[in-house]
Amino acid sequence: MKRIAGIAAVCFLLMLSGSIHSFAQDPAKYPERPITLQHAFAAAGSTDLTCRALAAIAPQYFSQPIIVAPKPGGAGLLALQNLLSSKPDGYTLHLGRPSEMSIGPFIENMPFEMDRDFIPIGQVAQDRIIFSVNSKTPWKTIEDLIAAAKKEPEKIKYACSSPTATVRLGMEKFLYEAGIKLTCVPFKGSAPAAIAVAGGHIQVLTSATSEALPHVQRGDLRVLLTCADVRSKQLPDVPTGKEKGFDVNFPVWHTIFAPQGTPPAILAKAEEMFKKVAEDKEFIAALIKLDSEPGFITAKDFAAYWTKERKWIGEVVKKIGLAKKP
């Protein structure tokens, strides 16, 4: 009996030793195995394309590959739950956008405290929102769309990537300022939303430029407005919201997040490496093709901005009537 107890004790100590060893990583050796970079949207959307651009450049700076893992559904809930259920060791990270990280908690009931449960590592890119329509519709300008919506309130439908998407907030803010109503049809990602509008199933699309651009180039979509203060290099003939008198400049940032509990030394090493990737000339060129804005923002600076952003987003969501019920 004593022998059995002794063997059990040794086994327990070995297990405990192995567990401690696996958790107490050497930051200098990080990463020692592939990193999973998940996101909350469907494949082929702007977030997925940004992830894949990162993964393509990463081998120049990381000792291990980055595996891209789309996890759409639940307005970002599925992806965030997966992140928090993973081990906080730097091997499962999340490329987040304002939709699930800033807007979602004000529209949907989410079992998270954003600034408690998620730690930013750094912003790697930023997109702009555009409004486009199926090319077979009669609307040539944003004024045409406004006039049509005033004649038949809520009859015209618009597609977006999720119920809590930043692109939805931009559209709803525009609708509020224009004094019109369209009906929102959310999808599980920007790619299927763009396909639905390009195919003529829905009339209007709110999206990042990169998500609509292939359909625009094929002649299936017509862009009416870009939600920015300056015109897009990819769409120089399209007016901005500022030109038309609308305050709809909502940046769609792409930021790497880790789950709470990730060792500070691992966070620092990850930030250092992602900064190098974000500043790589090949990565910047890939972003420009997507009409995304390059530029790395540190974890510290992004955290300060993120706190301010969630404050004004909460005010906007309440103002335009999207706030969740108590």
Per-residue confidence of the chain (326 residues) as pLDDT tens digits? 555 555 545 444 444 444 444 445 688 899 999 999 999 998 988 899 999 999 999 999 999 999 999 999 888 999 999 999 999 999 999 999 999 999 999 998 889 999 999 999 999 999 999 999 999 999 999 999 999 999 999 999 999 998 888 999 999 999 999 999 999 999 988 889 999 999 999 999 999 998 899 999 999 999 999 998 889 888 999 999 999 999 898 889 999 999 999 999 999 999 999 999 999 999 999 998 887 889 999 999 999 999 999 998 999 899 888 898 77
The residues, ordered by sequence, that sit 6+ positions from 173 with a Cβ below 8 Å of its Cβ are: 246, 247, 248, 250, 316, 320
∠170-79-166 over CA atoms, to 5°?
A: 5
From residue 146, how far is each of 141, 164, 236 by CA, in Å? Answer: 9, 23, 22
- The answer to whether residues 157 and 121 belong to one domain is no
- The answer to whether residues 256 and 222 belong to one domain is no
CATH number, domain with residue 69: 3.40.190.150
- The answer to whether residues 118 and 143 belong to one domain is no
* Residue 234 resides in a domain: no
- The answer to whether residues 77 and 52 belong to one domain is yes
- The answer to whether residues 118 and 263 belong to one domain is yes
- Please confirm whether the linkage preceding 186 is cis (ω < 30° from 0): no
CATH number, domain with residue 141: 3.40.190.10
d(CA 189, CA 24): 37
Strand locations in the chain (E): 35-39, 66-70, 92-96, 118-127, 129-134, 157-160, 183-186, 204-208, 221-227, 252-259, 293-298
Structural domains in the chain (count): 2
